[in-house]
Amino acid sequence: MNLLLDLGNTRLKWAWHDGAALRPGGALAHAEPGWAQAFGAAVHAGPAPSRAWLAAVGADAHVAVIEQVLRRVHPACALVRVHSPAAGAGVVNAYSDPQRLGVDRFLALVGARGRAPTAALVAGCGTALAIDAIDAEGRHLGGVIAPGARRMREAVLASTARVLPRGEGPPVVFGRSTEEGLDAGCALAAAALVDRLADEAAALLGTAPALWLHGGDAAALAGRLRHRASLAPDLVLEGLARWADLA
């Protein structure tokens, strides 16, 4: 049994994989007090893994906490940290320095290849909006990174004294308050970037790529797009499972 760990900038997600299918795990925001204890309790309650596979773009301090929790809860479990290679699991990395490609982005491409071996555009919709393209042979064409919609909104709120947080509400296109306008502008900016890259990828590839969205803001973003997108919330974990199977 493998324990799969996806440590992002905001959350830790995990699942178990028995070689056939993902078994749902959970997710915790690592800014919340007590997240390490909650993670330890959840992992202790699940099946004992022989290996834990970690994809981490979050802080090294959080990696150290995960290592400590696993040593305490499952001392016989070996922890393997995954880094982006030049090529592997059907994906060829476009970066001249392969490890500079975020491992979550690489594994999301691996996950997309596992779902369908076609040209694809993969958008990770979290703290950052990271969008990568691959062709039908799995060659990574490169990607872009921009602030996610929430981070754009936070940046404006941090630099002005007259705009207040709006809270959750139905999406709008033309806001009737400054706060509504800010929310709509950030959401539409993120959606416009994904739509533009879908058009650019189609022109480059000669065919419309499959569009996969994952991350905490994926569902909200999907509703703003002109292009049809498929939600794949566990795409990084799916890629990590494929990587573990091939190791």
List per-block mean pLDDT (blocks of 10 residues) for the chain, which spans 247 residues: 94 92 92 95 94 94 96 95 97 97 98 96 95 98 94 83 59 80 90 98 97 94 95 96 91
CA 8 from chain centre, in angstroms, equals 7
pTM above 0.75, yes or no: yes
Q: What is the pLDDT of residue 179?
A: 82
H helices within the chain, ranges in order?
A: 35-45, 60-73, 103-115, 149-158, 178-205, 218-222, 235-246
Catalytic machinery residues: 104
Q: What is the pLDDT of residue 160?
A: 75
Topology of domain 87-241, CATH: Nucleotidyltransferase; domain 5 (3.30.420)
Domain with CATH 3.30.420.40 in the chain: 2-81, 87-241
Q: What is the pLDDT of residue 225?
A: 96
What's the token pair of residue 145? 């990174």
Q: What is the dihedral of CA 139, 95, 230, 184, to 10 degrees?
A: -150
Q: Which CATH superfamily is domain 2-81 in?
A: ATPase, nucleotide binding domain (3.30.420.40)
